[in-house]
Amino acid sequence: MDLLSIKDPSFVKNMNVHEMEQLSAEIRKFLIEKLSVTGGHIGPNLGVVELTIALHHCFKSPKDKFLFDVGHQSYVHKILTGRADKFDTLRQYKGLCGFPKMIESEHDVWETGHSSTSLSAAMGMAIARDLKKSDAHIVPVIGDGALTGGMALEALNHIGHEKTNMIVILNDNEMSIAPNVGAMHNMLGRMRTGGKYNKLKDDLELLLKRIPAVGGKVASTAERMKDSLKYMFVPGMFFEEFGFTYLGPIDGHSYDDLIKSLEQAKRTEGPVLVHVITKKGKGYEPAETDTVGSWHGTGPYKMDTGDMIKAKNEPPAWSAVVSETVREIARTDERVVAITPAMPVGSKLLGFASEFPERMFDVGIAEQHAATVAAGLATQGMKPFLAIYSTFLQRAYDQVVHDICRPNLNVFIGIDRSGLVGADGETHQGVFDIAFLRHLPNMVLMMPKDENEGRHMVNTAIQYDEGPIAMRFPRGNGLGVEVDPELGVIPIGSWDVLKEGTDAAVLTFGTTIPMALEAAAELEQQGVSVKVINARFIKPLDEQMLDQLFALELPLLTIEEAVLEGGFGSAVLEYAHSSGQHGVVIDRMGIPDQFIEHGSVTKLLEEIHLTKEEAVRKLRALVPEKQEERA
């Protein structure tokens, strides 16, 4: 059929199995073609084609609520709800979002950029449904990786305790972004090979009913025997003990099995968990045979071969620069250990894991746990490197406050994807970490201007023995600068003057340094002399240099690729106030008080006026007498 003509998913309800199989093939072909141009989360979506079609066949969206966890597996749902014609704009500026988006469609009822939230949200929706006396089905679809998140387990406990009517789909593809780890993964593995649950349960019930109940003692023994037999032979008891009826495991690519199980779930009172086994990347060999998570999300690729389309001779990725420097130091410092919450691929830690398997810990999608594990290691004299994306560090805020900063422990936090990340959009933009870390006692926060400085900062962080220290670094590749053969230590709180100037000064760091230098060069040609300072330590500030700038009465412009509220510019203003410098002129550039949607970083920077042109305009305004002289 013509996927571009789909307006709503109602047509799926009238399809037979053969027609749905044809639709599956067409959707897979469509996704492989479209994502080869735009990039996107191809592996997860190829794995849920049949499951998503079956859901729309058995339920009625948007009355029935589908919550996808994590939302990167919602592309098929978007196609079936009338958005196929927008896939050329997927994850592009002002285009189709790569995650569920409530303003996009009434069929997107929950936004999930981070994992493990769907069950809690579904519980809220179910409570509201029951209070309103509605008969809608609430259907969260959660991956086996997301199920390792503590929030998901908290929700399972609540849902089971309340005996809430809900149908939870456990989409078990044995992987999240990288191969899953931990006891939950191992338990699901045993369940996958444990056979069909309900047949075994029914057989056991029949067997036990044949035992003559000739008194309370015998009946009690029979019940104990029944429980023991269940634990011995029946998969799914983990979920049964939470209060769920467990259905499965079933083949997530068989419409007969899916429809039969979903219809049974609809007839069952109380919470039901349908355990669906799917194959990530199903139908596209490069993605289907991926064992490390490379096809979880990609950029553009060659459709016929699966080869990624990348620029030649790119500088190393920032993640690789940082992780490989940690690895280099670990060769001579046995205290160094690495921790990641399910991101060994994205954080480029596979090399470290290969060389130091006993010192590499992937704790699963459990950011809070990762932070406190790092704190525990630090209490024992180890040097933990916590590799975590900025957007995911938000989830461990309490642990950073209570378990790391409060006891002043030597934890090195590598904050990956700091600043704008582009295509993943507002749920992933790493723009809040300065604001939520800068005010914490004992915290040191820094960001390098290039790979060479970044390597020295990594060494600085590992050699630092006075408490927690964090280094921000952006998504993408470095600048390609030459690096020093020997690692040094940068004095904590020291800034670096990159360009001298006498009329004004720019204080900035990281990704915005090139823009500041370009603005200063343009103004130099117009007779305005601008000092550019690499304010590489966001906390502590270089108070000595600030005092010098205040003494010179230079107007200051701060620039940061982070939120202005509570950010670096705020820190400079606070220091000026506490120093009694009430007449100093300070202006700020940064991320405004809004969530930034998806698109290329260049486009997004233009939209929020975080550009060279805006820097030039602001600096001209700071030195009006120079304009008068030119006139």
Active site residues: 280, 367, 395
**Is 593 labeled as ligand-binding?**
no
The closest of 69, 70, 52, 73 to 61, measured between CA atoms, is 52
What's the one-letter identity of residue 98?
G
**Is 93 labeled as ligand-binding?**
no
Contact 557, 587 (CB under 8 A): yes
Q: Is the dihedral of CA 256, 261, 262, 264 positive or negative?
A: positive
The partner residues of 17 in beta bridges, in order of sequence, read none
**CA torsion, points 73, 76, 80, 82, in degrees to nearest 10?**
80
Query: What is each CA distance from 206 to 236, 240, 273, in whole angstroms?
Result: 19, 19, 23
**Is 284 labeled as ligand-binding?**
yes
3-state secondary structure (DSSP) of residue 474: coil
3-state secondary structure (DSSP) of residue 442: coil
Report long-range pairs for 621-628 (Cβ below 8 Å, ≥24 apart): 621/587, 622/504, 622/555, 622/556, 622/557, 622/585, 622/587, 623/503, 623/504, 623/528, 623/555, 626/503, 626/527, 626/528
Element (H, E) at 558: strand 556-563
3-state secondary structure (DSSP) of residue 545: helix
3-state secondary structure (DSSP) of residue 23: helix
Q: Looking at 50-194, which runs of residues are DSSP E strands?
A: 65-69, 138-143, 166-172
Specify burial of residue 267 (Cβ count, 10 A radius: 0-12, 13-18, 19+). exposed
What are the phi and psi torsion angles at 376 (to 5°)?
-60, -40
**Is 113 labeled as ligand-binding?**
yes
Q: What is the phi-psi region of residue 417: left when phi exceeds 0, alpha when psi lies from -120 to 50, beta otherwise?
A: left
The partner residues of 533 in beta bridges, in order of sequence, read 497, 507
Residues 6 or more apart in contact with residue 224 via CB below 8 angstroms: none
Report long-range pairs for 99-105 (Cβ below 8 Å, ≥24 apart): 99/70, 99/71, 99/72, 99/74, 99/424, 99/425, 99/427, 100/68, 100/71, 100/74, 104/78, 105/78, 105/81
**Is 551 labeled as ligand-binding?**
no
**Is 146 labeled as ligand-binding?**
yes
**Is 115 labeled as ligand-binding?**
yes
Distance CA(390)–CA(393), nearest Å, equals 5
Residues 6 or more apart in contact with residue 137 via CB below 8 angstroms: 59, 64, 65, 165, 167, 266
**Is 40 labeled as ligand-binding?**
no
- Residues making up the annotated binding site for Mg(2+) are 144, 173
- Residues making up the annotated binding site for thiamine diphosphate are 72, 113-115, 145-146, 173, 284, 367
- Residues making up the annotated binding site are 72, 113-115, 144-146, 173, 284, 367
